[in-house]
Amino acid sequence: APAKENLQFQTEVNQLLHLMIHSLYSNKEIFLRELISNAADACDKLRFEAIGNDSLYENDSDLRVEVEFDSTAHTITIRDNGIGMNRDEVVSNIGTIARSGTKDFLQKLTGDQKKDAHLIGQFGVGFYSAFIVADKVTLTTRRAGVPKDQGVRWESDAQSGYSLETVTKETRGTEIILHLKEEEQGLANDWRLRSIIRKYSDHIPLPVKMLKTAEEEGQTSTEWEVINKANALWRRSKNEIKDEEYQEFYKHISHDWEDALAWSHNRVEGNLEYTSLLYLPSRAPFDLYEQKQQHGIKLYVQRVFIMDDAEHLMPRYLRFVRGVIDSSDLPLNVSREILQSNKIIDSMKSGSVKKVLGLLETMAKDEPEQYQKFWKEFGRVLKEGPGEDFSNREQIAKLLRFASTQTDSADQTVSLEDYISRMKEGQEKIYYITADSHTAAKNSPHLEIFRKKGIEVLLLSDRVDEWLTNSLHEFAGKQLQSVAKGALDLSKLDSEADKEEQKKVEEQSKNLINQIKDTLKDKVEDVRVSHRLTSSPSCIVLNEHDMALYMQHLLKQAGH
């Protein structure tokens, strides 16, 4: 490679950089949290890789982050002795954004500072937050185990791309120098930096150090001093941990910007020993519906980070859960292959699922407003649950919320238990309708007879509802029945007079029915007199086992 190269940022990076600098200005202190968080991740990765290869430590296994400043040069330096990066890694990690859905996400940004700050928070701020306070950033790094003359220097002013250079770096790891903007030069200050570190990085299980100057008998000496608590938060006992500490730790592991909605912290003892700290975010990340998603549960073995892994420790329908699971039983050299079929992993997973469902159940009962917030963000994902997790189907079903003819609002607030408690005498089934919008569901002619009889119908209009009703056939012994499928037997709910009336209508319509049948011939399976409708002239009814019209419609759209 040439001595020094100039490269352009990927378009997405350029866009994001500018929006971030503009919209996160009022939260500028978070740059330090993000950079320390990255340093901690890098140390975690090194510790894990070094399990199988001790030489990576290069005789320095005392992992740490150092923060220094220079009030004359107006710089802040953040240094770690973690895994470091090679040239390719610098280009792909710092120069590009590989997350799917990024383009769509960027299009949602409005230029409105407050709205964008929320959106960027959902995206995760990360390394680029350095440019909120710096007009030039110099990153020098060397990957552990790589020769000293193969260090990499990356430098950028966020305007004209970045430069890359091969340099000699004595120590492994990454050093980032922030050249502060003129109006941010006040940050190069001992007291300010210490208080920002304590505020945002107290709980990180890695020492963050700053230099302390001591004056003794006319002699000045400097030494490194640990600023943060530097213990693994999840290993401390619950009653010692403040809510703020839980929240800051959440932000570190989740890369989220906002507070968590709730959490569950558990130490499991007995056959299996592990600690779990599981959080529910307050907002959905922008890529919740992308196939490949970032960050979920971090797996630790005896405080050693093993990997970020969503699949093996949380099912898809709980993919929004963030947190840490720290096992005392797994071997430290556990590999991805082992994780794929491992009894310990399986039981930690099912235990953790129970904790999350329990947390949701308690919230739904004790804090219904909080629960509604949760449902608005993640309800559509939870609806995947009954189809994915048979063993917890009933418990998940209890957590579901729907719109219904009872409330006549698009808000999904009605639980199946609510529904059952309002069932009419003689009513045996839970009735629902699926459509591709709430308005379509609400105005469906299929509902007429139900409205007339005062029977509640659940109005389902999320994409996932078809999948849900295909997998959830009953709840609390009551069958779920689509009002658009098969023969509706509402006869138990009819009065004798109703029945007389219906018989009469059927007799009178015989000729008409036969005429229609002759005309439509094999275009339809059957023509029947309907008692479903009260004001619409006719409607199409599907056979019990046909896919609902909506599903057919979807498949057609998808080109099937």
Site for Mg ion in 98-127 (CB under 5 A): 126
Q: Which does 94 bind (CB under 5 to 8 A by kind): ligand ADP, Mg ion, none?
A: ligand ADP
What are the C-alpha distances in Å from 166 to residues 138, 161, 208, 512?
13, 17, 28, 87
Residue 261 makes contact with ligand ADP by CB under 6 A: no
Strands, sheet with 304-309, edge to edge from the N-terminal-most edge strand: 260-268, 274-281, 322-327, 297-301, 304-309
79 binds, among ligand ADP, Mg ion, none (CB under 5 to 8 A by kind): none
248 three-class SS: helix
- Residue 122 in contact with ligand ADP, rule: CB under 6 A: no
Report if residue 385 touches Mg ion, rule: CB under 5 A.
no
User: Which of these segments, 7-15, 123-131, 209-217, 378-386, binds ligand ADP (CB under 6 A)?
Assistant: 123-131
Terminal alpha carbon distance of the chain = 49
- Whether the Cβ atoms of residue 411 and residue 403 lie closer than 8 Å to each other: yes
Residue nearest to ligand ADP (CB): 126
DSSP symbol at 233: G
Least Cβ distance, residue 160 to Mg ion (angstroms):
24
- Closest CB 252 distance from Mg ion, rounded Å: 9
Counting contacts by CB under 5 A, is residue 254 touching Mg ion?
no
According to CB under 6 A, which one of 15, 38, 102, 415 is a site residue for ligand ADP? 38
* Binding of residue 256 to ligand ADP (CB under 6 A): no
**Interface with ligand ADP (CB under 6 A), residue from 15, 17, 24, 34:** 34
Sheet with 162-167, strands from edge to edge, namely 4-7, 162-167, 151-156, 134-142, 173-180, 75-80, 65-70, 208-216, 219-226
- Position 19 contacts ligand ADP (CB under 6 A): no
**180 or 206: CB nearest ligand ADP:** 206
Q: Which amino acid is at 237?
A: S
- Is 82 among the residues that bind Mg ion (CB under 5 A)? no
Q: What are phi and psi of 43, to 5 degrees?
A: -70, -40
Closer Cβ to ligand ADP, 228 or 412, answer by number: 228
Stretch that binds ligand ADP, among 34-42, 263-271, 284-292, 513-521 (CB under 6 A): 34-42
DSSP-derived pairing of the beta strands 458-460 and 403-404:
antiparallel
Footprint (CB under 5 A) of Mg ion, residues 9-38: 38
Strand 151-156 and strand 322-327: the pairing is unpaired
Residues that bind Mg ion (rule: CB under 5 A) add up to a total of 2
**Which DSSP helix (H) or strand (E) runs through 265?**
strand 260-268
* Side chain identity at residue 3, one-letter code: A
Q: How many residues bind ligand ADP (CB under 6 A)?
A: 16
Interface stretch with ligand ADP, choices 119-127, 275-283, 300-308, 512-520 (CB under 6 A): 119-127
Please give the torsion angle defined by the CA atoms of residues 23, 27, 30 and 31, in that order, rounded to the nearest 10 degrees: 50
* Phi-psi label, residue 270: left if phi above 0, alpha if psi -120 to 50, beta otherwise: left
Among 83, 310, 455, 472, indicate the residue that binds ligand ADP (CB under 6 A): 83
Residue among 34 and 184 whose Cβ is closer to ligand ADP = 34
Helix (H, G, I), strand (E, B) or coil at 411: coil
CB 167 within 8 A of CB 152: yes
Binding residues for ATP: 34, 38, 80, 85, 93, 100-101, 122-127, 174, 336
* Site residues, ligand ADP (CB under 6 A): 34, 38-39, 42, 80, 82-85, 93-94, 124, 126-127, 174, 255
Binding site for Mg ion (CB under 5 A): 38, 126
